[in-house]
Structure 1
Amino acid sequence: MSLQKRLDAFKATFESGLPPYNVHRSAVDTLQRATDELIESGLAERAKKVGDVAPCFILKDPDHWPIGSRKLIADGPLVLTFYRGVWSPYCNLDLQALQAALPDIVARGASLMAISPQNAVNSRRTIHENRLSFPILGDPRGELSAAYGLRVALPDYLVELYLTTFGTDLSSFNDDPSWTLPMPARFVIDQDGIIAYAEVSPDFTKRPDPAELLPVLDGLVAGGRA
Protein backbone atom coordinates (compact mmCIF):
# COMPACT_ATOMS: atom_id res chain seq x y z
CA MET A 1 0.00 0.00 0.00
CA SER A 2 1.33 3.44 -0.94
CA LEU A 3 2.09 5.99 1.74
CA GLN A 4 -0.79 8.23 0.71
CA LYS A 5 -3.26 5.34 0.81
CA ARG A 6 -2.11 4.56 4.35
CA LEU A 7 -2.53 8.22 5.31
CA ASP A 8 -5.98 8.37 3.72
CA ALA A 9 -7.04 5.22 5.56
CA PHE A 10 -5.92 6.66 8.88
CA LYS A 11 -7.68 9.96 8.14
CA ALA A 12 -10.94 8.18 7.36
CA THR A 13 -10.78 6.30 10.67
CA PHE A 14 -9.79 9.40 12.63
CA GLU A 15 -12.56 11.54 11.15
CA SER A 16 -15.26 8.88 11.50
CA GLY A 17 -15.93 9.82 15.12
CA LEU A 18 -15.73 6.16 16.08
CA PRO A 19 -13.37 4.45 18.56
CA PRO A 20 -10.51 4.52 19.22
CA TYR A 21 -10.31 8.25 18.45
CA ASN A 22 -13.88 9.43 19.17
CA VAL A 23 -13.17 12.79 17.57
CA HIS A 24 -16.07 15.23 17.44
CA ARG A 25 -16.96 16.69 14.06
CA SER A 26 -16.23 20.20 15.30
CA ALA A 27 -12.60 19.22 15.93
CA VAL A 28 -12.31 17.81 12.41
CA ASP A 29 -13.78 21.02 11.01
CA THR A 30 -11.32 23.13 13.03
CA LEU A 31 -8.35 21.15 11.69
CA GLN A 32 -9.68 21.54 8.17
CA ARG A 33 -10.16 25.27 8.67
CA ALA A 34 -6.52 25.67 9.69
CA THR A 35 -5.37 23.62 6.69
CA ASP A 36 -7.50 25.62 4.27
CA GLU A 37 -6.19 28.91 5.67
CA LEU A 38 -2.60 27.74 5.37
CA ILE A 39 -3.09 26.66 1.76
CA GLU A 40 -4.80 29.95 0.91
CA SER A 41 -1.94 31.91 2.49
CA GLY A 42 0.40 30.75 -0.29
CA LEU A 43 3.20 30.11 2.21
CA ALA A 44 4.05 26.75 0.65
CA GLU A 45 4.65 28.40 -2.72
CA ARG A 46 7.19 30.73 -1.12
CA ALA A 47 9.24 27.94 0.46
CA LYS A 48 12.59 26.82 -0.95
CA LYS A 49 12.31 25.31 -4.43
CA VAL A 50 14.30 23.23 -6.90
CA GLY A 51 17.33 25.23 -8.00
CA ASP A 52 17.61 27.22 -4.77
CA VAL A 53 20.68 27.06 -2.58
CA ALA A 54 19.93 24.88 0.41
CA PRO A 55 20.40 26.57 3.79
CA CYS A 56 23.35 25.04 5.63
CA PHE A 57 22.96 23.71 9.15
CA ILE A 58 24.65 22.16 12.13
CA LEU A 59 22.03 20.44 14.29
CA LYS A 60 22.22 17.95 17.13
CA ASP A 61 20.90 14.42 17.26
CA PRO A 62 19.08 13.16 20.40
CA ASP A 63 22.44 12.32 22.00
CA HIS A 64 23.58 15.92 21.43
CA TRP A 65 26.10 15.03 18.73
CA PRO A 66 26.37 17.80 16.10
CA ILE A 67 25.67 16.87 12.48
CA GLY A 68 26.44 19.34 9.71
CA SER A 69 25.03 19.53 6.21
CA ARG A 70 28.37 20.46 4.59
CA LYS A 71 29.96 17.21 5.70
CA LEU A 72 26.91 15.20 4.68
CA ILE A 73 26.80 16.52 1.12
CA ALA A 74 30.54 16.04 0.77
CA ASP A 75 29.79 12.32 0.97
CA GLY A 76 26.75 12.26 -1.33
CA PRO A 77 23.26 13.68 -1.88
CA LEU A 78 21.24 14.53 1.21
CA VAL A 79 17.55 13.78 1.71
CA LEU A 80 15.91 16.00 4.30
CA THR A 81 12.42 15.46 5.65
CA PHE A 82 10.80 18.01 7.95
CA TYR A 83 8.09 16.68 10.24
CA ARG A 84 5.97 18.06 13.05
CA GLY A 85 6.55 15.60 15.88
CA VAL A 86 6.00 12.17 17.39
CA TRP A 87 2.52 13.27 18.52
CA SER A 88 1.37 13.32 14.87
CA PRO A 89 0.23 9.92 13.50
CA TYR A 90 0.60 11.26 9.97
CA CYS A 91 4.24 12.11 10.59
CA ASN A 92 4.89 8.69 12.10
CA LEU A 93 3.42 6.94 9.05
CA ASP A 94 5.59 9.18 6.86
CA LEU A 95 8.74 8.29 8.79
CA GLN A 96 7.91 4.58 8.65
CA ALA A 97 7.61 4.80 4.86
CA LEU A 98 10.99 6.54 4.68
CA GLN A 99 12.51 3.81 6.83
CA ALA A 100 11.19 1.21 4.37
CA ALA A 101 12.77 3.16 1.51
CA LEU A 102 16.08 3.72 3.33
CA PRO A 103 17.97 0.81 1.70
CA ASP A 104 17.13 2.18 -1.75
CA ILE A 105 18.21 5.68 -0.71
CA VAL A 106 21.51 4.50 0.76
CA ALA A 107 22.18 2.29 -2.28
CA ARG A 108 22.25 5.47 -4.34
CA GLY A 109 24.94 7.00 -2.16
CA ALA A 110 22.58 9.37 -0.32
CA SER A 111 21.96 10.00 3.36
CA LEU A 112 18.61 10.65 5.05
CA MET A 113 17.95 13.02 7.94
CA ALA A 114 14.64 13.88 9.62
CA ILE A 115 14.24 17.30 11.23
CA SER A 116 11.74 18.33 13.89
CA PRO A 117 11.36 21.14 16.43
CA GLN A 118 10.66 18.63 19.21
CA ASN A 119 13.08 18.14 22.07
CA ALA A 120 15.64 15.33 22.34
CA VAL A 121 13.46 13.13 24.56
CA ASN A 122 10.71 13.11 21.96
CA SER A 123 13.19 12.54 19.13
CA ARG A 124 14.44 9.44 20.93
CA ARG A 125 10.82 8.37 21.33
CA THR A 126 10.29 8.88 17.60
CA ILE A 127 13.24 6.64 16.76
CA HIS A 128 12.14 3.93 19.20
CA GLU A 129 8.43 3.86 18.35
CA ASN A 130 8.98 3.93 14.59
CA ARG A 131 12.06 1.67 14.63
CA LEU A 132 14.12 4.15 12.66
CA SER A 133 17.75 3.66 11.72
CA PHE A 134 18.31 7.17 10.35
CA PRO A 135 18.99 10.24 12.51
CA ILE A 136 16.42 12.62 13.93
CA LEU A 137 17.85 16.13 14.26
CA GLY A 138 16.49 18.79 16.58
CA ASP A 139 15.60 22.18 15.14
CA PRO A 140 15.27 24.43 18.22
CA ARG A 141 12.57 27.08 17.74
CA GLY A 142 12.25 25.98 14.13
CA GLU A 143 15.14 28.11 12.92
CA LEU A 144 16.09 25.80 10.04
CA SER A 145 12.47 25.30 9.03
CA ALA A 146 12.17 29.09 8.91
CA ALA A 147 15.23 29.27 6.64
CA TYR A 148 13.49 26.85 4.29
CA GLY A 149 10.27 28.89 4.46
CA LEU A 150 8.36 26.17 6.32
CA ARG A 151 7.75 27.55 9.80
CA VAL A 152 4.13 28.35 10.64
CA ALA A 153 2.69 30.02 13.74
CA LEU A 154 -0.43 28.17 14.83
CA PRO A 155 -3.59 30.30 15.13
CA ASP A 156 -5.03 30.70 18.61
CA TYR A 157 -8.08 28.54 17.85
CA LEU A 158 -5.80 25.66 16.83
CA VAL A 159 -3.65 26.04 19.95
CA GLU A 160 -6.82 25.76 22.03
CA LEU A 161 -7.92 22.64 20.14
CA TYR A 162 -4.58 20.93 20.64
CA LEU A 163 -4.60 21.69 24.35
CA THR A 164 -8.22 21.01 25.24
CA THR A 165 -9.23 18.25 22.82
CA PHE A 166 -6.02 16.38 22.03
CA GLY A 167 -4.03 17.15 25.19
CA THR A 168 -1.03 18.11 23.05
CA ASP A 169 1.08 20.88 24.56
CA LEU A 170 3.60 21.80 21.90
CA SER A 171 5.37 24.21 24.22
CA SER A 172 6.37 21.14 26.27
CA PHE A 173 7.03 18.84 23.32
CA ASN A 174 9.32 21.39 21.72
CA ASP A 175 10.67 23.23 24.79
CA ASP A 176 9.50 26.36 22.99
CA PRO A 177 6.61 28.64 23.95
CA SER A 178 6.12 29.97 20.42
CA TRP A 179 3.64 27.31 19.17
CA THR A 180 5.20 27.08 15.73
CA LEU A 181 5.54 24.03 13.48
CA PRO A 182 7.09 23.26 10.11
CA MET A 183 4.94 22.39 7.16
CA PRO A 184 5.88 18.80 6.35
CA ALA A 185 8.39 18.84 3.51
CA ARG A 186 10.90 16.73 1.65
CA PHE A 187 14.08 17.94 -0.08
CA VAL A 188 16.98 16.40 -1.96
CA ILE A 189 20.19 18.42 -1.88
CA ASP A 190 22.95 17.68 -4.38
CA GLN A 191 26.67 17.81 -3.65
CA ASP A 192 26.86 21.42 -4.83
CA GLY A 193 24.39 22.37 -2.09
CA ILE A 194 21.55 22.97 -4.57
CA ILE A 195 18.01 21.69 -4.04
CA ALA A 196 17.28 19.03 -6.66
CA TYR A 197 13.83 18.01 -5.33
CA ALA A 198 11.34 19.85 -3.18
CA GLU A 199 7.87 18.93 -2.01
CA VAL A 200 6.05 20.96 0.66
CA SER A 201 2.75 19.79 2.18
CA PRO A 202 0.58 22.58 3.63
CA ASP A 203 -2.05 19.86 4.12
CA PHE A 204 -0.39 17.69 6.77
CA THR A 205 -2.47 14.67 5.70
CA LYS A 206 -0.79 14.66 2.28
CA ARG A 207 2.79 13.47 1.82
CA PRO A 208 4.87 12.53 -1.24
CA ASP A 209 5.75 8.88 -1.59
CA PRO A 210 9.42 8.14 -0.84
CA ALA A 211 9.60 6.35 -4.22
CA GLU A 212 9.58 9.82 -5.82
CA LEU A 213 13.07 10.39 -4.43
CA LEU A 214 14.70 7.51 -6.26
CA PRO A 215 14.61 8.85 -9.86
CA VAL A 216 16.00 12.16 -8.57
CA LEU A 217 18.87 10.38 -6.86
CA ASP A 218 19.44 8.24 -9.96
CA GLY A 219 19.63 11.42 -12.02
CA LEU A 220 22.23 12.92 -9.71
CA VAL A 221 24.34 9.76 -9.96
CA ALA A 222 24.02 9.69 -13.76
CA GLY A 223 24.89 13.37 -13.98
CA GLY A 224 27.99 12.96 -11.87
CA ARG A 225 26.61 15.10 -9.01
CA ALA A 226 26.53 12.33 -6.45
Structure 2
Amino acid sequence: MFKTIIYSIFLFIGISVSAQEAKGINFQNVNLEEAKKIAQKENKLIFIDLFTTWCGPCKLMKKNTFPDEKLGEFFNEHFVNLAIDAENNKEGIELVKKFRITNYPSFLFLDGKGKLVQYDFGYYNAQQFLQVGNAVLQKSMTSKKPKSAMKAIDQVKGKMVGDKIKNFTAKDQFGESFSLNNQKQKIILVFIRGQWCPYCNQYVKDLQDLSPELQNKNAKLVIISPEKPEFIEKTIEKTNTKYTVLYDEGYKIAEAFDVLYTPDQKTLEFYNSKLKDDFANSRSDQSGRLPVSATFILNENKEITWRHFDPDYKVRASTVDILSQL
Protein backbone atom coordinates (compact mmCIF):
# COMPACT_ATOMS: atom_id res chain seq x y z
CA MET A 1 0.00 0.00 0.00
CA PHE A 2 2.81 2.40 0.98
CA LYS A 3 4.66 1.63 -2.26
CA THR A 4 1.49 2.31 -4.22
CA ILE A 5 1.08 5.72 -2.55
CA ILE A 6 4.72 6.65 -3.20
CA TYR A 7 4.41 5.55 -6.83
CA SER A 8 1.23 7.62 -7.25
CA ILE A 9 2.91 10.70 -5.77
CA PHE A 10 5.89 10.44 -8.13
CA LEU A 11 3.56 9.79 -11.07
CA PHE A 12 1.56 12.89 -10.19
CA ILE A 13 4.73 14.97 -9.86
CA GLY A 14 5.95 13.67 -13.21
CA ILE A 15 2.67 14.52 -14.91
CA SER A 16 2.66 18.01 -13.33
CA VAL A 17 6.21 18.73 -14.47
CA SER A 18 5.43 17.50 -17.99
CA ALA A 19 2.32 19.69 -18.11
CA GLN A 20 4.33 22.72 -17.02
CA GLU A 21 7.03 22.04 -19.61
CA ALA A 22 4.41 21.61 -22.33
CA LYS A 23 3.22 25.18 -21.82
CA GLY A 24 6.30 26.75 -23.37
CA ILE A 25 8.36 26.15 -26.47
CA ASN A 26 8.99 22.44 -26.96
CA PHE A 27 12.67 22.07 -27.90
CA GLN A 28 13.06 18.71 -29.60
CA ASN A 29 16.02 16.40 -28.96
CA VAL A 30 16.94 15.87 -32.60
CA ASN A 31 19.79 17.01 -34.82
CA LEU A 32 19.38 19.47 -37.67
CA GLU A 33 19.04 16.83 -40.39
CA GLU A 34 16.23 15.16 -38.49
CA ALA A 35 14.65 18.56 -37.89
CA LYS A 36 14.68 19.23 -41.64
CA LYS A 37 12.80 15.99 -42.31
CA ILE A 38 10.20 16.86 -39.66
CA ALA A 39 9.85 20.41 -41.00
CA GLN A 40 9.30 19.20 -44.55
CA LYS A 41 6.84 16.52 -43.47
CA GLU A 42 4.82 18.86 -41.22
CA ASN A 43 5.23 21.97 -43.40
CA LYS A 44 7.00 23.93 -40.67
CA LEU A 45 10.03 26.18 -40.33
CA ILE A 46 13.01 25.46 -38.06
CA PHE A 47 13.86 27.66 -35.07
CA ILE A 48 17.31 27.27 -33.48
CA ASP A 49 18.21 28.87 -30.16
CA LEU A 50 21.98 29.03 -30.33
CA PHE A 51 23.21 29.62 -26.76
CA THR A 52 26.29 29.41 -24.55
CA THR A 53 26.58 28.32 -20.91
CA TRP A 54 28.12 31.66 -19.80
CA CYS A 55 25.61 33.95 -21.58
CA GLY A 56 23.33 35.86 -19.18
CA PRO A 57 20.64 36.79 -21.75
CA CYS A 58 20.59 33.14 -22.89
CA LYS A 59 19.69 32.07 -19.35
CA LEU A 60 17.01 34.76 -19.10
CA MET A 61 15.43 33.65 -22.38
CA LYS A 62 15.33 30.08 -21.06
CA LYS A 63 13.89 31.16 -17.70
CA ASN A 64 11.50 33.97 -18.62
CA THR A 65 10.66 33.85 -22.33
CA PHE A 66 10.61 30.31 -23.70
CA PRO A 67 8.27 28.92 -20.98
CA ASP A 68 5.49 31.37 -21.95
CA GLU A 69 2.33 29.43 -22.83
CA LYS A 70 1.16 31.66 -25.66
CA LEU A 71 4.64 31.78 -27.20
CA GLY A 72 4.87 28.01 -26.91
CA GLU A 73 1.57 27.46 -28.68
CA PHE A 74 2.68 29.59 -31.62
CA PHE A 75 6.22 28.20 -31.99
CA ASN A 76 5.17 24.57 -31.47
CA GLU A 77 2.53 24.95 -34.19
CA HIS A 78 4.74 26.62 -36.80
CA PHE A 79 8.35 25.63 -36.00
CA VAL A 80 10.51 22.62 -35.23
CA ASN A 81 12.40 24.03 -32.24
CA LEU A 82 16.02 23.22 -31.39
CA ALA A 83 18.23 24.51 -28.56
CA ILE A 84 21.91 24.01 -29.43
CA ASP A 85 24.99 24.81 -27.37
CA ALA A 86 27.24 26.94 -29.57
CA GLU A 87 30.50 25.91 -27.91
CA ASN A 88 30.05 22.38 -26.52
CA ASN A 89 28.13 20.81 -29.35
CA LYS A 90 29.66 19.81 -32.68
CA GLU A 91 26.62 20.91 -34.64
CA GLY A 92 26.53 24.19 -32.72
CA ILE A 93 30.19 24.89 -33.52
CA GLU A 94 29.50 24.22 -37.22
CA LEU A 95 26.52 26.58 -37.21
CA VAL A 96 28.62 29.33 -35.60
CA LYS A 97 31.18 29.02 -38.40
CA LYS A 98 28.61 28.74 -41.16
CA PHE A 99 26.59 31.78 -40.11
CA ARG A 100 29.51 33.71 -38.57
CA ILE A 101 27.82 34.03 -35.19
CA THR A 102 29.36 36.53 -32.75
CA ASN A 103 26.38 37.43 -30.51
CA TYR A 104 24.45 35.32 -28.00
CA PRO A 105 21.82 34.21 -27.80
CA SER A 106 21.53 33.93 -31.58
CA PHE A 107 18.33 32.81 -33.26
CA LEU A 108 18.37 31.03 -36.60
CA PHE A 109 15.12 30.66 -38.53
CA LEU A 110 15.52 28.15 -41.37
CA ASP A 111 13.23 26.62 -43.95
CA GLY A 112 12.77 22.87 -44.36
CA LYS A 113 15.88 22.66 -46.52
CA GLY A 114 18.07 24.47 -44.02
CA LYS A 115 18.13 27.78 -45.89
CA LEU A 116 18.25 30.87 -43.68
CA VAL A 117 14.95 32.77 -43.57
CA GLN A 118 15.94 35.24 -40.87
CA TYR A 119 18.63 35.80 -38.24
CA ASP A 120 18.19 37.58 -34.90
CA PHE A 121 19.95 37.84 -31.58
CA GLY A 122 19.68 39.28 -28.07
CA TYR A 123 17.16 39.17 -25.25
CA TYR A 124 13.41 39.39 -25.95
CA ASN A 125 10.48 39.04 -23.60
CA ALA A 126 7.70 36.64 -24.63
CA GLN A 127 5.51 39.25 -26.29
CA GLN A 128 8.42 40.69 -28.28
CA PHE A 129 9.61 37.26 -29.38
CA LEU A 130 6.12 36.32 -30.50
CA GLN A 131 6.26 39.33 -32.83
CA VAL A 132 9.63 38.09 -34.14
CA GLY A 133 8.13 34.67 -34.83
CA ASN A 134 5.12 36.19 -36.57
CA ALA A 135 7.35 38.33 -38.78
CA VAL A 136 9.46 35.30 -39.75
CA LEU A 137 6.38 33.25 -40.59
CA GLN A 138 4.89 36.01 -42.73
CA LYS A 139 8.20 36.52 -44.52
CA SER A 140 8.39 32.80 -45.26
CA MET A 141 4.80 32.54 -46.47
CA THR A 142 5.18 35.60 -48.66
CA SER A 143 8.25 34.11 -50.34
CA LYS A 144 6.31 30.92 -51.13
CA LYS A 145 3.46 32.73 -52.87
CA PRO A 146 3.63 32.99 -56.67
CA LYS A 147 4.28 36.52 -57.83
CA SER A 148 0.92 36.63 -59.55
CA ALA A 149 -0.80 36.04 -56.20
CA MET A 150 1.16 38.69 -54.31
CA LYS A 151 0.06 42.07 -55.61
CA ALA A 152 0.95 45.47 -54.22
CA ILE A 153 -1.94 47.83 -53.65
CA ASP A 154 -1.23 49.76 -56.85
CA GLN A 155 -1.46 46.53 -58.88
CA VAL A 156 -5.04 45.59 -57.98
CA LYS A 157 -7.70 47.23 -60.14
CA GLY A 158 -10.94 45.55 -59.08
CA LYS A 159 -13.52 43.93 -61.36
CA MET A 160 -15.13 46.33 -63.81
CA VAL A 161 -18.73 47.28 -64.57
CA GLY A 162 -20.13 44.72 -67.02
CA ASP A 163 -18.04 41.83 -65.67
CA LYS A 164 -20.04 38.73 -64.80
CA ILE A 165 -19.12 37.09 -61.51
CA LYS A 166 -18.82 33.33 -61.22
CA ASN A 167 -20.50 31.58 -58.33
CA PHE A 168 -18.78 31.54 -54.95
CA THR A 169 -19.74 30.04 -51.61
CA ALA A 170 -18.80 31.00 -48.06
CA LYS A 171 -19.97 30.61 -44.49
CA ASP A 172 -21.87 33.46 -42.85
CA GLN A 173 -21.75 34.54 -39.19
CA PHE A 174 -24.23 31.81 -38.28
CA GLY A 175 -22.22 29.05 -39.93
CA GLU A 176 -24.73 28.81 -42.77
CA SER A 177 -23.56 28.35 -46.36
CA PHE A 178 -24.04 31.33 -48.70
CA SER A 179 -24.03 30.73 -52.45
CA LEU A 180 -24.08 33.63 -54.91
CA ASN A 181 -26.05 31.63 -57.46
CA ASN A 182 -28.84 31.08 -54.95
CA GLN A 183 -29.46 34.81 -54.57
CA LYS A 184 -32.39 36.04 -56.64
CA GLN A 185 -32.09 39.75 -55.89
CA LYS A 186 -29.49 42.45 -56.49
CA ILE A 187 -26.43 42.03 -54.30
CA ILE A 188 -24.35 44.80 -52.74
CA LEU A 189 -20.95 43.39 -51.83
CA VAL A 190 -18.90 45.38 -49.33
CA PHE A 191 -15.31 44.38 -48.57
CA ILE A 192 -13.91 45.24 -45.14
CA ARG A 193 -10.42 44.73 -43.73
CA GLY A 194 -11.45 43.46 -40.30
CA GLN A 195 -12.79 44.29 -36.88
CA TRP A 196 -9.49 45.94 -35.93
CA CYS A 197 -10.10 48.68 -38.54
CA PRO A 198 -12.03 51.63 -37.01
CA TYR A 199 -12.94 52.95 -40.48
CA CYS A 200 -14.48 49.59 -41.38
CA ASN A 201 -16.49 49.46 -38.16
CA GLN A 202 -17.84 52.98 -38.62
CA TYR A 203 -18.71 52.27 -42.24
CA VAL A 204 -20.62 49.10 -41.34
CA LYS A 205 -22.55 51.15 -38.79
CA ASP A 206 -23.32 53.80 -41.43
CA LEU A 207 -24.59 51.12 -43.81
CA GLN A 208 -27.41 50.32 -41.40
CA ASP A 209 -29.18 53.42 -42.76
CA LEU A 210 -29.67 51.50 -46.02
CA SER A 211 -31.54 48.63 -44.45
CA PRO A 212 -35.11 50.02 -44.68
CA GLU A 213 -34.64 50.82 -48.37
CA LEU A 214 -33.16 47.54 -49.58
CA GLN A 215 -36.33 45.47 -49.58
CA ASN A 216 -38.10 47.99 -51.81
CA LYS A 217 -35.12 47.90 -54.16
CA ASN A 218 -35.05 44.07 -54.26
CA ALA A 219 -31.48 44.19 -52.95
CA LYS A 220 -29.42 42.46 -50.30
CA LEU A 221 -26.25 43.81 -48.70
CA VAL A 222 -23.46 41.33 -47.94
CA ILE A 223 -20.25 42.14 -46.07
CA ILE A 224 -17.09 40.25 -47.01
CA SER A 225 -14.46 39.87 -44.27
CA PRO A 226 -11.10 38.07 -44.48
CA GLU A 227 -11.31 37.28 -40.77
CA LYS A 228 -12.10 33.99 -39.05
CA PRO A 229 -15.54 33.50 -37.44
CA GLU A 230 -14.39 34.39 -33.91
CA PHE A 231 -13.13 37.74 -35.20
CA ILE A 232 -16.26 38.33 -37.28
CA GLU A 233 -18.14 38.04 -33.99
CA LYS A 234 -16.15 41.06 -32.81
CA THR A 235 -17.22 42.97 -35.94
CA ILE A 236 -20.85 42.24 -35.14
CA GLU A 237 -20.39 43.21 -31.48
CA LYS A 238 -18.77 46.52 -32.43
CA THR A 239 -21.24 47.45 -35.18
CA ASN A 240 -24.51 45.71 -34.23
CA THR A 241 -24.92 44.88 -37.91
CA LYS A 242 -27.83 42.69 -39.04
CA TYR A 243 -26.38 42.18 -42.50
CA THR A 244 -24.92 38.91 -43.74
CA VAL A 245 -21.19 38.78 -42.99
CA LEU A 246 -19.16 36.17 -44.93
CA TYR A 247 -15.81 34.72 -43.94
CA ASP A 248 -13.64 34.90 -47.05
CA GLU A 249 -11.50 31.90 -46.17
CA GLY A 250 -8.36 31.77 -48.28
CA TYR A 251 -9.26 35.18 -49.79
CA LYS A 252 -11.11 33.46 -52.64
CA ILE A 253 -13.78 36.14 -53.00
CA ALA A 254 -11.29 39.00 -52.74
CA GLU A 255 -9.13 37.37 -55.42
CA ALA A 256 -12.15 36.83 -57.68
CA PHE A 257 -12.93 40.56 -57.47
CA ASP A 258 -9.25 41.56 -57.83
CA VAL A 259 -9.20 43.54 -54.60
CA LEU A 260 -6.58 41.46 -52.74
CA TYR A 261 -3.18 43.02 -52.05
CA THR A 262 -0.18 42.63 -49.77
CA PRO A 263 0.81 45.69 -47.69
CA ASP A 264 4.45 46.76 -47.84
CA GLN A 265 6.80 45.41 -45.16
CA LYS A 266 6.80 48.63 -43.13
CA THR A 267 3.00 48.61 -42.94
CA LEU A 268 2.94 44.92 -42.00
CA GLU A 269 5.43 45.51 -39.20
CA PHE A 270 3.32 48.41 -37.94
CA TYR A 271 0.12 46.36 -37.95
CA ASN A 272 1.80 43.43 -36.21
CA SER A 273 3.35 45.60 -33.50
CA LYS A 274 0.21 47.65 -32.83
CA LEU A 275 -2.56 45.12 -33.42
CA LYS A 276 -0.74 41.93 -32.42
CA ASP A 277 -3.10 38.90 -32.44
CA ASP A 278 -5.98 40.93 -33.87
CA PHE A 279 -3.96 41.18 -37.07
CA ALA A 280 -1.52 38.27 -37.03
CA ASN A 281 -3.96 35.48 -36.21
CA SER A 282 -7.26 36.82 -37.50
CA ARG A 283 -7.07 35.55 -41.08
CA SER A 284 -6.73 32.16 -42.74
CA ASP A 285 -2.97 32.56 -43.21
CA GLN A 286 -0.08 34.68 -41.99
CA SER A 287 0.63 36.43 -45.30
CA GLY A 288 -0.76 39.78 -44.13
CA ARG A 289 -2.87 40.18 -47.28
CA LEU A 290 -5.91 42.45 -47.17
CA PRO A 291 -8.77 43.46 -49.46
CA VAL A 292 -9.23 46.97 -50.80
CA SER A 293 -12.32 48.39 -49.09
CA ALA A 294 -14.38 48.28 -52.29
CA THR A 295 -18.13 48.07 -52.95
CA PHE A 296 -19.78 46.31 -55.89
CA ILE A 297 -23.42 46.11 -56.97
CA LEU A 298 -24.47 42.99 -58.89
CA ASN A 299 -27.75 42.64 -60.75
CA GLU A 300 -29.92 39.51 -60.74
CA ASN A 301 -27.73 38.04 -63.52
CA LYS A 302 -24.61 38.43 -61.32
CA GLU A 303 -23.18 41.21 -63.51
CA ILE A 304 -21.48 44.23 -61.95
CA THR A 305 -23.62 47.31 -62.60
CA TRP A 306 -21.74 49.74 -60.34
CA ARG A 307 -18.62 49.82 -58.24
CA HIS A 308 -16.71 52.01 -55.83
CA PHE A 309 -13.00 51.21 -55.83
CA ASP A 310 -10.48 53.42 -54.02
CA PRO A 311 -7.16 52.08 -52.63
CA ASP A 312 -7.48 54.58 -49.76
CA TYR A 313 -9.18 52.64 -46.96
CA LYS A 314 -10.52 55.90 -45.54
CA VAL A 315 -12.64 56.54 -48.66
CA ARG A 316 -15.84 54.47 -48.88
CA ALA A 317 -18.92 54.42 -51.10
CA SER A 318 -21.60 56.77 -49.80
CA THR A 319 -25.01 55.39 -48.89
CA VAL A 320 -26.57 57.98 -51.21
CA ASP A 321 -24.55 56.72 -54.20
CA ILE A 322 -25.39 53.09 -53.41
CA LEU A 323 -29.10 53.78 -53.24
CA SER A 324 -29.07 55.79 -56.44
CA GLN A 325 -27.57 52.84 -58.32
CA LEU A 326 -30.10 50.21 -57.21
TM-score by length of 2: 0.51
1:87–1:168 Cα contact (<8 Å) kept: no
Picking from 150, 160, 173, the partner of 2:282 is 173
Count of residues in Structure 1 that have an aligned counterpart in Structure 2: 175
**What's the CA shift string for 1:83-142, capped at 9, x where partnerless?**
100100000111111112111122211111000110001112211221111111000121
Q: Which residue of 2 aligns with 1:49?
A: 160
Please state whether the residue corresponding to 2:223 is helix, strand or coil: strand
Question: Residue 169 of structure 2 corresponds to which residue in structure 1?
Answer: 58
Question: How far apart, in 1, do the equivalents of 2:276 and 2:304 lie?
Answer: 37
Of the candidates 66, 69, 77, which is equivalent to residue 180 of structure 2?
A: 69
**1:139-154 matches, cutoff 5 A:** 139-154=248-263
Q: Does 1:96 align with 2:213?
A: no
For normalisation by structure 1, the TM-score amounts to 0.73
* Structure with the greater alpha carbon radius of gyration: 2
Is it true that 1:213 corresponds to 2:312 in the alignment?
no
The corresponding residue for 2:18 is none
Equivalent in 223, 227, 230 of residue 121 of structure 1: 230
| In 1: Cα distance, 2:258 partner to 2:284 partner | 21
User: What does 1:2-21 align with in structure 2 at a 5 Å threshold?
Assistant: none
Deviation readout 1:155-178 (Å, 9 max, x if unpaired): 211111112234365231113111
Counterpart of 1:98, as a letter, is L
Separation of aligned partners in 1, 2:296 and 2:270 = 30
User: What amino acid does structure 1 have at the position aligned with 2:292?
Assistant: M
Matched residue of 1:159: which SS?
A: helix
Whether the 8 Å contact between 1:62 and 1:121 is mirrored in structure 2 is no
Kept in 2: contact 1:84–1:117 (CA 8 A)? yes
Higher relative CO (Cα under 8 Å, sequence separation at least 6) belongs to 1
Equivalent position SS for 1:111: strand
Gaps of 5+ in 1: 1-36, 218-226
Q: Is the 8 Å Cα contact of residues 196 and 278 (structure 2) preserved in structure 1?
A: no
Distance 1:54 1:48 in 2: 9
Structure 2 runs not aligned, ≥5 long: 1-151
Identity of aligned residues (%): 25
Distance 1:214 1:199 in 2: 13
For residues 201 and 178 of structure 1, the distance between their equivalents in structure 2, rounded to whole angstroms, comes to: 22
Partner letter of residue 247 of structure 2?
G
Kindly provide the amino acid, as one letter, of the partner of residue 60 in structure 1: K
CA contact (8 A) 2:205 2:241 kept: yes
Q: Which runs of 4+ in 1 moved over 3 A?
A: 165-169
Q: Are 1:55 and 1:148, in contact at CA under 8 Å, matched by a contact in 2?
A: no
- For residues 174 and 205 of structure 1, the distance between their equivalents in structure 2, rounded to whole angstroms, comes to 21
Aligned mate of 2:217, from 108, 118, 126: 108
Q: Work out whether 1:203 is the aligned partner of 2:312.
A: yes
How far is 1:200 from its partner? 1.2
- Cα distance in structure 2, aligned partners of 1:69 and 1:173: 24
